[in-house]
Amino acid sequence: MKIRVDVSPKYSEKEIVIKSPEEDDELKKIVDKIKNIESEFSQINGYLNETVYSLDLKEILFFETNDRNVYAHTENNAFLIHYRLYELDNNLPDSFLRVSKSSIINIDEIISLSRSVTGNLVQFKNTYKTIYVSRRFLKELKNRLNQRKF
């Protein structure tokens, strides 16, 4: 079996292509493993008071640290998450990007990026919530927003 990896900034997302002379058990196992990896981190548990919620990652606007706790912000709530920010940064899909020392945002939920006197501000869809972007991460965010599909 040959494995070939092609990395280029011209690609907007990851794509896996498998070429096989026939559909056999080995091929099915490979496809199943890839699907399991993809679905492994599509949901996360969030805690609000004493209740545990299963949150879809696509519903999360951003993750933010506050007083040594990590919170997942949705349109209406902020859920406590039992992961550290660096763990999320390593395991979240490509639609999430670290934009400061204390936050990771969902690029698909951004409606605007604006400059203000105090810094660069991200506005999200269907909510009043905003978050600041560090200058260190601004260039990468602009690149990712330009590659985003509409």
Per residue in 43-83, pLDDT (tens digit) is 889 999 889 999 988 899 999 999 899 999 999 999 999 99
pLDDT score of 150 more than 60: no
Model pLDDT, residue 60: 93
Judged against a pLDDT cut of 80, whether residue 36 lies above it is answered with no
Domains of the chain by start residue, with CATH? 43-147 (2.40.50.1020)
Percent of residues, the chain, with pLDDT higher than 90: 27
What six digits make up the tokens of 84? 């550290």
Residue 118 has pLDDT above 90, yes or no: no
Query: What CA dihedral angle connects 9, 10, 14 and 15, to 10 degrees?
Result: -140
Evaluate if residue 39 carries a pLDDT over 80: no
CA distances from 109 to 5, 59, 97, 112, 129 (A): 29, 8, 12, 9, 11
Longest dimension (CA), the chain: 61
Q: How many CA atoms lie within 13 A of 61 on its CB side?
A: 19
